[in-house]
Amino acid sequence: MTTLKDVARASGVSVMTVSNVINGVPRVGPATRERVLGAIADLGYEVNLTARRLRSGTSGTVALVVPRADHPYFGELADAFTSVLRATGRHLVIEQSGASKEGELTALSQARLQMYDGVLLSAVGLQYADVDRVQADLPLVLLGEKPMPPQFDQIQLGNVEGAQLATAHLLDRGARSVALVGGLTGPTDGGMQDQRTEGWRAAHRAAGRTPDDRLILNPPALEMAASRQTIRDAVSGGLQLDAVFAITDQAAIGVVAGLRDVGLRVPDDVQVVGFDNLAIGAHLWPELTTVDPSNHWLVTEAVRLLERRMAGEHGDAEHLVTPVSLVVRGSTR
């Protein structure tokens, strides 16, 4: 492997001069600069980012920590971040925290995080206290679903508002029994599922109805297969419903399949609304009505906040909530 030293020897200057050429420091004469650039090209030298990181403390890399990569929502998010960050000359890598507690803590450990100039953390399983232990001077923007320590910038989706929009839309289109797939009835942890459940309740209250907790279904996992099974079992078990608000698009896709399994038509017999506005929603049959959480807004703001921290600012942290809107398609009347 060629190092600065090799380049220096080949071009007859000191390593420091080569370093200065590489970093564009303007204390190198034009002739010397050319000679060094020539040697770099000849030897095919490339800077060792590990060494640079150790010495200078910057790597030009930002990490996006997500629970898992096979969820399309995070894929779309990662793609958006990559293009926005590329414009600022930075590089994005994606880390998976996994579903397990250990996995999330590992991803959160100083050791890992120190490898990056900044971190965008979207870990749904972590608690307030876990995040609170993270060294406060790391440029960190939380995309957390639940309230997080005030020392860090945070952007949450408009979960309550979005869920309320979705539910209100269903009630407005004549639904009388709006099941909530992915909702929670038990003790609350303030997470995404809680917030969307709250939105579902709020919409009922605003319409002068009393939410019926028997309509809250919680599949073992927020995936297509589990949601499909859950809705199928519920209907087979005699649950009466004429609409479903599924708290993610993935769950909604499972719900639509499950309803089909038991012979119910969407939207004629049961209307369905999802949440996330995944790209695929527009290509399903029926096309999925969903809540758009303004991913682009989130990405832009998150990068702005992160850049501010990486620039060394130590002002008060901001806690933002994305604006949401409803995308009405064929799965509702």
User: Which of the stretches 20-28, 133-141, 177-185, 323-331 binds DNA when contact is defined by CB under 7 A?
Assistant: 20-28
Alpha-helix runs per DSSP H in 4-153: 4-11, 15-22, 30-43, 49-56, 72-87, 101-108, 110-113, 128-132
Side-chain-side CA neighbours of residue 134 (13 Å)? 30
C-beta separation of 91 from 118 below 8 A = no
Question: At 30, is the secondary structure helix, strand, or coil?
Answer: helix
Interface residue with DNA, options 47, 99, 206, 207 (CB under 7 A): 47
**Beta bridge pairs of residue 274:** 290
Alpha-helix runs per DSSP H in 124-223: 128-132, 159-172, 192-206
| From DNA, its own copies, none, interface partner of 86 (C-beta below 5 to 8 A by class) | its own copies
Rounded Cα distance between 91 and 24, Å, is 20
User: Which of the stretches 27-35, 110-118, 192-200, 203-211 binds its own copies when contact is defined by CB under 8 A?
Assistant: 110-118
Amino acid at 307: E
> Residue 18 Cβ, how far from DNA at the closest point, in Å?
7
Amino acid at 187: P
> Residue 96 Cβ, how far from DNA at the closest point, in Å?
24
Which CB, 165 or 217, lies closer to its own copies?
A: 217
> Residue 283 Cβ, how far from its own copies at the closest point, in Å?
4
Interface residue with its own copies, options 19, 82, 229, 325 (CB under 8 A): 82
Residues that bind its own copies (CB under 8 A): 1, 46-51, 53-54, 59, 63, 68-72, 74-76, 78-79, 82-83, 86, 91-96, 98, 103, 106, 109-112, 114-115, 135, 224-225, 228, 253-254, 256-257, 260, 279-280, 282-285
